[in-house]
Amino acid sequence: MSSQNSYEQLGVTEASSFEEIQDARNRLFAQHQGDRKQLESIEAAYDAVLMDRLRLRQEGKIKVPDRIRFPEKVVPPPSTPPSAPASQGSAWLQRLIDTPSRTDVLIPAGVLTALSAWVVLTPTANVVQLALILGMGATFYFLYRKERKLGRTVLLGLTGLFVGFLVGGALNALLPTQIASLLGSFRLTLNAFVSIVTFFVLWLVSSFLR
pLDDT in tens, 88-145: 656 766 778 888 888 888 999 999 999 999 988 888 889 888 999 999 999 999 888 8
Check residue 72 and give its pLDDT.
42
Tell me how far CA of residue 117 lies from CA of 68, 73, 164, in angstroms: 80, 78, 17
Q: End-to-end distance of the chain based on CA atoms, in angstroms?
A: 73
Task: Report the alpha-carbon distance of residue 55 to residue 3 in Å, rounded.
Answer: 11
Task: Report the alpha-carbon distance of residue 144 to residue 146 in Å, rounded.
Answer: 5
How far is C-alpha 70 from the chain's CA centre?
Answer: 39
